[in-house]
Amino acid sequence: MLEVKDLKVNYGVIQALKGISFEVNEGEVIALIGANGAGKTTTLQTISGMLTPTTGSVMLNGVDITRIPGHKIVSMGLAHVPEGRRVFPGLTVLENLKMGAYTRSNKKEIADSYEMVYESFPRLKERQNQLAGTLSGGEQQMLAMGRALMSKPSIVLMDEPSMGLSPIYVDEIFKIIQSISDAGTTVLLVEQNAKKALAIADRAYVLETGNIVLSGDAKDLMNDDSIKKAYLGE
């Protein structure tokens, strides 16, 4: 479904990605883990067209999207929940969700999506007329996820959805990611909370200063000694 090949990305002279390749198959939950500054966000931003790589390619459902501008990629079935949520603070919860459906026009289908999002996030429904900037961090994260789902994506990229949340919220967020996957949406999940990410992922890739250093079955990685030491704190 998503195929990344030999991706190199530079910020000026700094090379943030040094030629990474990986793939995400339909229906999978793939975890991309790594320390601060490893290049996780850069990877997701390059896939969704926010950044242009120096070399390499990104294929989505067999279409080369490497140089397609970001705003055109959404309607091809890819949604991105960015790092730091990035909800529209001055718009209400409802208006934020409406923005998520910007590329769609079928009113009936959009109404179904609202229903689906409100079902997954009942709290958003309660707060639909509240300004997004006044939501708590966890609620903003739910809004960012709900907003991404409003585009009816076939694959969702999520950048550290559990960042800065209290343990209860973290559990809830991971439950929701699981249910998004159960509903048939493919997930590429970037996380620093490697333990939780590996627990729900099918496969995982480990990124270290711009290179993929390890990959494999999530269950195997969980038992890998180097992973245990570096990312699971055991």
Partner 1 sequence: MAMHQISLADDGYGDGVHRNIIFEREFLVMGFLTYLINGLSLGSVYALIALGYTMVYGIAKMLNFAHGDVIMIGAYLVFICTSNAGMPAIVSIVIAIGCCTALGMIIEKIAYAPLRKATNLAVLITAIGVSYFLQNVALLVFGSNPVSFTSIIPWKGLTFAGGQLKITGNAIIAISVCLVIMIVLMWFVKNTKPGQAMRAVSEDRDAAVLMGINVNATISLTFAIGSGLAAIAGALLCSSYPSLTPYTGSMPGIKAFTAAVFGGIGSIPGALLGGLLLGIIEILAKAYISSELADAIVFAVLIIVLLVKPSGILGKQIKEKV
Ligand X SMILES: Nc1ncnc2c1ncn2[C@@H]1O[C@H](COP(=O)(O)OP(=O)(O)OP(=O)(O)O)[C@@H](O)[C@H]1O
Which sign does the torsion angle of CA 161, 99, 90, 172 carry? negative
- Interface characters, 2-41, with partner 1 (x: CB under 8 A): ----------------------------------------
Both structure tokens of 18: 């040094």
For 66-123, the three-class secondary structure string (H helix, E strand, C coil) is CCCCHHHHHHHCEEEECCCCCCCCCCEHHHHHHHHCCCCCCHHHHHHHHHHHHHHCHH
- Interface characters, 65-94, with Mg ion (x: CB under 5 A): ------------------x-----------
> From the list 31, 33, 38, 188, which residue makes contact with ligand X (rule: CB under 6 A)?
38
Q: Which partner from the list Mg ion, ligand X, partner 1, none does 187 bind, CB cut-off 5 to 8 Å by kind?
A: none
How big is the site for ligand X, counted in residues (CB under 6 A)? 13
Q: What is the Cα–Cα distance from 92 to 112, expressed in whole angstroms?
A: 19
Walk across the sheet containing 55-60 and list its strands: 14-24, 2-11, 55-60, 63-64
Give yes or no for residue 39 binding ligand X (CB under 6 A).
yes
Both structure tokens of 181: 């996957």
> Which is nearer to Mg ion, 103 or 192 (by Cβ)?
192
Binding residues for partner 1, per CB under 8 A? 48-50, 69-75, 79-80, 82, 84, 86-91, 95, 98-100, 102-103, 131, 133-137, 140, 147-148, 151, 164
